[in-house]
């Protein structure tokens, strides 16, 4: 397909470690308003591909561009455009939940940061834990804090690596609505998931990661991850 208007364009990407690819070549593009589901068996390389696209590690070969510009995590334009949430609980140990979110809101020059943070605390059920440090949170609460920080900030491309992990069913449903809303507002989403319900409810297209990488319909991707 033509790359006109593509937010993300990946061409013949090989992702892996020590010159050893974890899966086949990835070629795909993603446009505003689309949610690309990334699925595959455990250990297939989904997270490695996502981390490479996000600039967290270098590709073995191939190219990744975001808004026609090569990935550069240190560049202001990249940091303003891309919000990524991975399963790594990286927090400042001396900042409270509220202070973490205020740091994100003010760092991205969001209007009414206090009001925005209060809305996120309510959405993710963290109002009662707003004034504690991350070490005082449960595993699920830390996950919700990570998601709040990633979803609240403006972004053109959102990269989510198994965001459903450690969330209860009600919060998974709320997350699905949030992802769908981001796409409806013109954002693009790269979603790595093992949750068939989340995949079918939000994905426009689906990329199956394996020795050979293929694009399928979301309902086919749901069948694939149900077997993983």
pLDDT in tens, 83-132: 999 987 789 999 999 999 999 999 999 999 999 999 999 999 999 999 99
- In this structure, is residue 118 part of a structural domain? no
- In this structure, is residue 191 part of a structural domain? yes
**Would you state the pLDDT for residue 175?**
97
Q: What are phi and psi of 82, to 5 degrees?
A: -115, 125
Q: Which tens digit of pLDDT belongs to each residue from 27-69?
A: 999 999 999 999 999 889 999 999 999 999 999 999 999 998 9
Q: pTM of the full predicted structure?
A: 0.91
- In this structure, is residue 205 part of a structural domain? yes
Residue 135 above 60 pLDDT? yes
- Domain containing 161 equals 8-92+154-226
- In this structure, is residue 132 part of a structural domain? no
Q: Provide CB contacts within 8 A for 173, sequence distance 6+.
A: none
Q: What's the distance, CA 223 to chain centroid?
A: 22
- In this structure, is residue 98 part of a structural domain? no
d(CA 72, CA 135): 31
Position 223 confidence tier, pLDDT thresholds 50, 70, 90: low
| H-run or E-run covering 139 | helix 139-152
**Would you state the pLDDT for residue 222?**
61
Residue 179 above 90 pLDDT? yes
Residue 2 above 80 pLDDT? no
Kindly report the CATH number assigned to the domain that includes residue 47: 3.40.50.300
Rg (CA), the chain: 17
**Would you state the pLDDT for residue 53?**
97
- In this structure, is residue 117 part of a structural domain? no
Tokens standing for residue 103: 């740091």
**Would you state the pLDDT for residue 62?**
97
Q: How many structural domains comprise the chain?
A: 1
- In this structure, is residue 144 part of a structural domain? no
Q: Strand, helix or coil at 81?
A: helix
- In this structure, is residue 129 part of a structural domain? no
- List own/partner pairs for 50-54 with CB under 8 A and 24 or more apart: 50/84, 50/86, 50/159, 50/161, 50/190, 50/192, 51/15, 51/86, 51/161, 52/13, 52/15, 53/8, 53/10, 53/13, 53/159, 53/190, 54/82, 54/84, 54/86, 54/159
Residue 177 above 60 pLDDT? yes
């Amino acid at each position: 397909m033509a790359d006109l208007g593509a937010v993300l364009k990946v061409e013949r990407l090989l992702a892996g470690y020590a010159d050893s690819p974890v899966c086949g070549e990835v070629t795909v593009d993603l446009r505003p308003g689309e949610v690309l589901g990334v699925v595959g068996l455990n250990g297939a390389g989904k997270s490695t591909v996502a981390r490479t696209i996000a600039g967290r590690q270098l590709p073995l070969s191939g190219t990744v561009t975001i808004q026609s510009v090569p990935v550069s995590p240190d560049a202001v334009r990249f940091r303003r455009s891309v919000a990524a949430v991975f399963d790594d609980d990286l927090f400042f140990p001396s900042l409270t939940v509220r202070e973490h979110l205020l740091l994100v809101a003010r760092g991205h020059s969001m209007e009414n940061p206090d009001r925005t943070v209060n809305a996120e605390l309510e959405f993710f059920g963290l109002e009662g834990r707003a004034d504690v440090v991350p070490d005082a949170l449960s595993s699920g609460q830390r996950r919700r804090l990570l998601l709040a920080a990633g979803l609240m900030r403006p972004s053109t491309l959102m990269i989510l690596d198994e965001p459903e992990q450690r969330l209860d069913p009600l919060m998974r449903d709320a997350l699905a609505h949030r992802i769908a809303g981001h796409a409806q507002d013109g954002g693009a989403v790269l979603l790595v998931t093992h949750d068939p319900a989340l995949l079918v409810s939000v994905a426009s297209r689906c990329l199956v990661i394996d020795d050979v990488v293929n694009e399928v319909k979301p309902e086919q991707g749901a069948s694939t991850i149900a077997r993983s």
